[in-house]
Chain A
């Protein structure tokens, strides 16, 4: 050993510590306290308030009282069921489209992009930094009446088919269900691509070779090996797309018309314009319950529990 070294100060105290160490039994609770308190007060408690509001009656002038008036739920459902159905249909259509469009891109990034991988990833994420409202407004330009997109669709007689299906009307795409679904798909596509990519990227490339070696054609390899292994990504991707899409009202408002109003639009109007709080609260509660039930059912069926 070296001769000239700085001598460290003596280490252990002469008297050993008598009390055995307690491994901070309360530490986790102190760590959790502020954040959990925040969530309880500003997330859970509001849901309770909302539940209570939904069974109140009264008016803005005279104030509201809890009267266990469950009829509000029935009234809300019977009046706004078309918007509910529309929300589910649009969100489902957008989710399916996101999966169909997002899978090839996620696959491309995971397996075929090579040195372009990082660049493509950046291009997928970067649009986030432009406000989504600005980007949604851009669709007004893209789908404008008489614009090149509508013109092309018209020339290819695609619009005839979509008109027949009721997705568009006349020579217009804007202010139709197609435009809303298109906007929803666009807005939530990255939420599909990122989880898909994460689970695809974990797949060992040699599995493809092994499948090929065992006489699987490329498409069979995909069907029997790649896709099953990417189910965790598919499940969390569809949830991350469907849930916000079902509650969205921005796309329906900016790209749609009064005929494409979704439940989000109704809640927003009731709450911020009509000021009918009980109805709004009941609608919001039904939406939450419906989504939670669907999500639970879906997670059970797909057998993936570790989403977080």
Chain B
């Protein structure tokens, strides 16, 4: 009876943790199989423990090259989308102008559109223009679909900002440029950073739109896709595990620094 009562009390917790397990199980598999030594070309069945892949992460032809292309595209797409998106967010929050509704819809639509539709239509455009598919077409596409997400993130932050802060800066002898650089930008920074981080993650991990518009250029997700047909090298798991670990480490370290700073100040 006591057990039943305990179960009832903690039902939500148990269900939640099961879901968390479901979310993390693939990452566990990816990590475990990065130490596998598979027989044949595919790395789907456990054979025996080996650290070969970790010792030689770039041992597979073209993989690290594709990784580098993905990183370059992600960096440039992040910069482009963050700059353009931040400008739009400020215009939307701070100014009244005509065609506001139309602009808002144009921002919202890419987020409500299946990727495959955007991918196919963009390819149609490029084919019609006779554009050379490759690095630049991928970059253009990535900036396009990251833009809306940056706008949303930055907008939320700018909206919650007290307009009196900028008035106070003006009152304290800061001209428009100084006000923007010294007050507006620093306060909006967390929102801009969140938008940039999101853009980076979206761009780095994008497959569907990239696959349509890449031509012969191979990004890392495309390499993984191709290898699912040809044979999956263990190094893919090494990269996947390393990225997961780096992300967790990055967040934990920045949280620890934040905590320390708060404690020192208090």
Contacts and interface: CB of A to CB of B under 8 A. Distances in A.
Q: Do chains A and B touch in the complex (CB under 8 A)?
A: yes
A89 B204 CA distance: 30
Given A31-B91, A134-B224, A189 B207 contact: no
A308 interface: yes
Interface in B220-250: 220-221, 224-225, 228, 232, 236-237, 239-241, 243-244, 246-248
A247 B115 contact: yes
A138 B15 contact: no
Contacts of B165: none
Interface residues of A, number: 82
A280 B85 CA distance: 31
A105 B17 CA distance: 7
Contacts of B251: 122, 126
A249 B116 contact: yes
Contact of B205 (A29, A128, A138, A248): A128
B76 interface: no
A186 B22 contact: yes
Interface string A16-45: 000000000001110110111011101111
Interface in B115-131: 115-118, 120-125, 127-128
Contacts of A38: 84, 143-144, 147
A304 to B, nearest CB: 13
A147 B47 CA distance: 14
Contacts of A123: 20, 23-24
Contacts of A248: 114-116, 208
A281 B127 CA distance: 13
Contacts of A205: none
Contacts of A135: 26-27, 30, 240
Given A124-B23, A246-B114, A108 B143 contact: no
Interface residues of B, number: 87
B191 to A, nearest CB: 14
B140 interface: yes
A249 B208 CA distance: 8
A257 interface: no
B23 A190 contact: yes
A297 interface: no
Give 5 closest A-B pairs by Cβ, nearest first.
A247-B114, A108-B16, A28-B95, A104-B15, A129-B247
Interface of A: 11, 27-29, 31-32, 34-36, 38-40, 42-47, 49-50, 53, 101-102, 104-109, 112, 118, 120, 122-124, 126-142, 144, 186, 189-190, 239, 243-244, 246-250, 254, 264, 267-268, 271-272, 277, 280-281, 284-285, 287-288, 291-292, 295, 307-308
29 contacts: A28-B91, A28-B94, A32-B103, A35-B85, A36-B103, A38-B84, A39-B148, A43-B109, A43-B144, A46-B118, A50-B124, A101-B19, A108-B17, A112-B13, A126-B248, A128-B201, A130-B30, A131-B240, A131-B243, A134-B236, A138-B30, A138-B33, A141-B44, A144-B45, A186-B26, A243-B112, A281-B120, A308-B104, A308-B155
